[in-house]
Amino acid sequence: MTGEINGWVSSADAWVASVGEEGDWTRKTILDAAMLERVARHGGTFLDIGCGEGRFVRKLQERGLHGVGIDPVEKLIAVAQQRDPNGDYRIGVGEKLLFDDASFDLTISYLSLIDIEDFRSAIKEMTRVTKPGGSILIANLTGHFTAGKWERGPDGEYKRFEIDNYHEERASRERWLGIDVLNWHRPMSAYLTEFLANGLILRHFAEPTPPDQNDPKSDCYTRVPGFVVMEWEKPA
C-alpha cells in the first residue's frame, strides 16, 4: 500500500458524494443485479472487503445475511457506521485480514481488487478466511477495459477503443467527479492463475452488460467488456 492509501483518504468525501445511497450508474445499472443474483444462493456470514461507505453491506443485510465490512479508509468506515449504527464495520486491508481461518461463508470483493496493490496476498487471504464449501464472489473491471482508453468524438461520443500493453501489470491514476486514486491493471490471466493456485473452483463467470441498450451511457459498456463477475468455491 502506498501514499495515503493510493489517494482514497483525500478522495473519501468525493466518493461518498458520487456513490450516494443507491450507488453510481454502473453499480445500479449493471453490477448490483449480477452480484445479488449470486448472493441469493448463499446464507450464513459474509465479509465485504473494501466496503467503502457500506452500501453493499446494507444490501446484503436486507437479504438476511450477517457479516462484516472492512475498508482501510477511516472516513469511509465512519460514514458506514453512521448510516448503519448496528452494522459491523472495521478498518482493515485485504492483504492481511484480521480474522481466523474459515470465518465466513461468503467473501466478497466488489470492485476492490483493482485498488489492492498486492492482489496475490489478498486472494490468498480471501481463501484462508472462507469456510470450506463457501464462496468468494468477485466483481472487477476486465483487463481489456483497464488496458485501454476510448477515443472520443467532438461531441463526446465513443468512437474507438484502443488497447495497449495488455500483459503489463501496472498502476494508473484515475480521476472523476473529484476522485483521484490509483487503480491497477492486470491481464485476466493474472487473476485466474492466482485463484486457481489457491485451490479454488470456478463456479460462475459472467461479463454483465447494461440491460437497457437505449440508455446512452450503455454504449461504452456494451461495445467493450467492462466488468467481470466471478464466483469461486473453496472445496469442502
What is the domain partition of the chain in residue ranges? Answer: 8-233
Q: Would you say residue 3 has pLDDT above 70?
A: no
Handedness of CA 45, 50, 56, 57 (dihedral sign): positive
Q: Would you say residue 2 has pLDDT above 70?
A: no
pTM: 0.95
Q: Would you say residue 188 has pLDDT above 50?
A: yes
User: What CATH architecture applies to the domain 8-233?
Assistant: 3-Layer(aba) Sandwich (3.40)
pLDDT single digits (tens) 53-89: 999 999 999 999 999 999 999 999 999 999 999 999 9
> Can you tell me the distance from the alpha carbon of 233 to that of 130, in angstroms, rounded to the nearest whole number?
9
Tell me, what DSSP letter sits at residue 32? H
- The pairs formed by 23-26 with CB atoms below 8 angstroms and a separation of 24 or more are 23/55, 25/217, 26/221, 26/226, 26/227
Q: Would you say residue 1 has pLDDT above 80?
A: no
Report the pLDDT averaged over residues 99-109: 98
> Can you tell me the distance from the alpha carbon of 64 to that of 42, in angstroms, rounded to the nearest whole number?
10
pLDDT at 135: 98
pLDDT at 77: 98
> Can you tell me the distance from the alpha carbon of 91 to that of 96, in angstroms, rounded to the nearest whole number?
11
Q: Is 92 helix (H, G, I), strand (E, B) or coil?
A: coil
pLDDT at 123: 98
Mean pLDDT of the chain: 95
Report the pLDDT averaged over residues 184-191: 97
